[in-house]
Chains A and B, each alone.
Chain A
Amino acid sequence: MGRSELPEEVVDDILSRLPVKSLKRFSCLNKSWYTRFQNSCFITKHHHHSSQKNPSILVCGLESRKRALSLHPAKLDDDNFDSGIILDTPFFPGEDIKLQCIMGACGNGVICMQACTRGDHFFSFVLWNPAIREFKVVPALPVQFPSNIDYQHTASGFGYDHNSNDFKVVTILTYWKFTGYSLIWDPRVILYKQVEVYTLSTDSWRQVNCDTISDIHVFGGCCEIYLNGAYHWSGRTKEKDYNIIVSFDMSNEVFGTLSMPDLTDTSHFNQIWQALAVLGNCVALIVYNICAPEKIFDIWVVHEYGVKESWTKQYVIGPLSGIRKLVGPANSGHILLLGDKILLVEDKGQVVVYNLNAQQIKNLQVTGHPLYYATQAMAYVESLVSIIG
């Protein structure tokens, strides 16, 4: 048989299974292929195949006190991860603005990174698709407080609005009249909140209503999760003084609250730390004793979103030794649940992968960077989604 040409749908099928790097290279094959890879249907199809594979791990860390990111691709053959490669992060030339942490990877290949400028209370943000090496620096928050007002950039979130096909960054500011009290948790101080949302399509911020959370302390930088189009943080109610989960729906831009499970049987823990996680597409809560030399992790899962009674303690992991302490932004302990694995970032800066089924612990390596010190780990799936023009 002579040269056989494959039908278009089959060519499309094959191409949509290729990694992003291959597609960018094949862009110069001919003009119709260049256009094809920018077509939103193709991008969606490609992302679908991408997300069927085991996700990679994106690690945020420090090397010689400078922020670095490494990507650890999932191995094809088995359930482990390849050695990491340090990614190029050319967002802020100069030394004034420093990257802090990853704020969110909303599952379609785009990441939001948080940065801070020395002396500034506000954070800066960068949207980034590492696979196609595109980034967009989010414009500064157009918020100014008078000099007698003190404020804090409390929490932020990042996600994707499926209805308007838009990326959004949400940010919660807390402010109070500077009355001389140094501790803002002082009940005599009245705290106010202001919430701003940035949308990529308008490239601007606007204020949104936040009455729902006016009496809730939202804990930013504390193991947040993004699930079902909503960003979730831990929080604490002011009045009744109990822990709660705060959610922000990216589409309708509305805050909500979710009860946490009843944790009274863990009161024997010296110091309870909680981390939000996602397990089997449900909100999960990992509770552990930060002080114990051998760690036991209780993993609670809420099977019916919003129904307190449906919280179930689904797994108890451990005791695990060899995990000294967990670190993450705000020292809250970074834990990531990925299928049958738990990723923990421990205080030696090692990312530890614990396989639930095999009950094995492995370390994630970064090739050629022995001084690399991890602080955060996220699941990552590559995509062609463009964020500029």
Chain B
Amino acid sequence: MANGENQNPNPNPIEATPGAAARTITLKTADGEIFEVEEAVAMEFGTVKSFFEDDAVSATKPMPLPNVSGSALSRVITYCRRSLEIRSMIPPATSEDATAAEAVQGEGDLEAEKAAKQERKEFEAEFLKDESNEDVKELILAANYLNIKELLDFLCRSVALRIQNKSVEYARKFFGIEGDYTPEEEAQIRQEYAWAFEGVDED
């Protein structure tokens, strides 16, 4: 599959299928990098979608993204592109609310859904594996600015998993928050919820 690595900040994203003319949208990041992205992928960004729907702007003019860096956008594009691919593995008109007990789908559909779920699981596990907390936060800010719900959900879920067993100091550092309890007040809370401090990861 393409674009597993993203160290190259400006990959050529267009994989032309013979004979097909891929419509692309040009994006310009805060640090001046230009990205040409397939329209389908760019339309995953809520911000881009409304920009091109609201303004009858020509799709060839680069859309400025002043709050997103080149490296972040590259990662975001990789995610959205892969996510689209995985979603296309599931045939349409499959209700996502169907419980396993209401097995009204055909065998083939169920298999496809299972395969897609597995792909997504593996892809998501790999995607953030080597990202530092700072990198993840940068991605969150980008996903938030670009209004990409699925990516933002995934990132928030992942951060929750990362920090859930960490200490209070770790959380303070991660969120950039100062404590404002007096040492006595804090000691009191720690005592009241002593059980919540058991088994916490070492910093």
Q: Which A residues form the contact surface with B (CB < 8 A)?
A: 1, 3-7, 10-11, 13-15, 17-19, 21-22, 24-31, 33-34, 133, 279-280, 314, 339-340, 356-357
Contacts and interface: CB of A to CB of B under 8 A. Distances in A.
Contact of A25 (B102, B168, B175, B181): B168
Closest 3 CB pairs of A and B: A17-B160, A24-B196, A340-B100
A31 B180 contact: yes
Nearest to A31: B180
Given A28-B181, A31-B180, A280 B196 contact: no
A14 B143 CA distance: 14
Contact of A21 (B156, B160, B196): B196
Interface stretch (B3-11, B14-22, B33-41, B132-140): B132-140
Contacts of B175: 5-6, 11, 29
Interface string B172-203: 10011111110000100110010111001000
Contacts of B179: 28-30
Contact of A10 (B152, B168, B193, B195): B152
B193 A29 contact: no
B163 interface: yes
Contacts of A339: 99-101
A1 B138 CA distance: 9
Contacts of B177: 29-30, 33
Contact of A14 (B159, B165, B186, B197): B159
A18 B160 contact: yes
Contacts of A29: 168, 171-172, 175, 177, 179
Given A14-B160, A30-B177, 14 more contacts: A4-B138, A4-B141, A5-B176, A6-B140, A14-B163, A25-B167, A26-B168, A28-B181, A29-B171, A31-B181, A33-B177, A339-B99, A339-B100, A340-B101
19 contacts: A1-B134, A4-B137, A5-B176, A10-B152, A10-B156, A11-B175, A15-B160, A17-B160, A18-B160, A18-B164, A19-B164, A22-B165, A24-B193, A27-B189, A29-B175, A29-B179, A30-B179, A31-B181, A340-B101
Contacts of B171: 26, 29
Contacts of B99: 280, 339-340
A1 B69 contact: yes
Interface residues of B, number: 38
Contact of B137 (A6, A27, A280): A6
Nearest to A7: B144
Nearest to B200: A25
A340 B189 CA distance: 41
A133 B101 contact: no
B157 interface: yes
B161 to A, nearest CB: 8
The secondary structure that dominates the A interface is loop
Contacts of A314: 101
B128 to A, nearest CB: 14
Given A19-B164, A25-B197, A26-B168, A357 B100 contact: yes
A13 B151 CA distance: 13
A279 B99 CA distance: 10
Most chain A beta carbons < 10 A, residue from B156, B167, B181, B190: B156
A56 to B, nearest CB: 16
Nearest to B145: A7
Contacts of B176: 3, 5
Contacts of B138: 1, 4
Contacts of B160: 14-15, 17-18
Contacts of A17: 156-157, 160
B196 to A, nearest CB: 4
A3 B177 CA distance: 11
Contacts of B156: 10, 13-14, 17
Contacts of B137: 4, 6
Interface in B103-120: none
Interface in B61-103: 69, 99-102
Contacts of B193: 24-25, 27-28
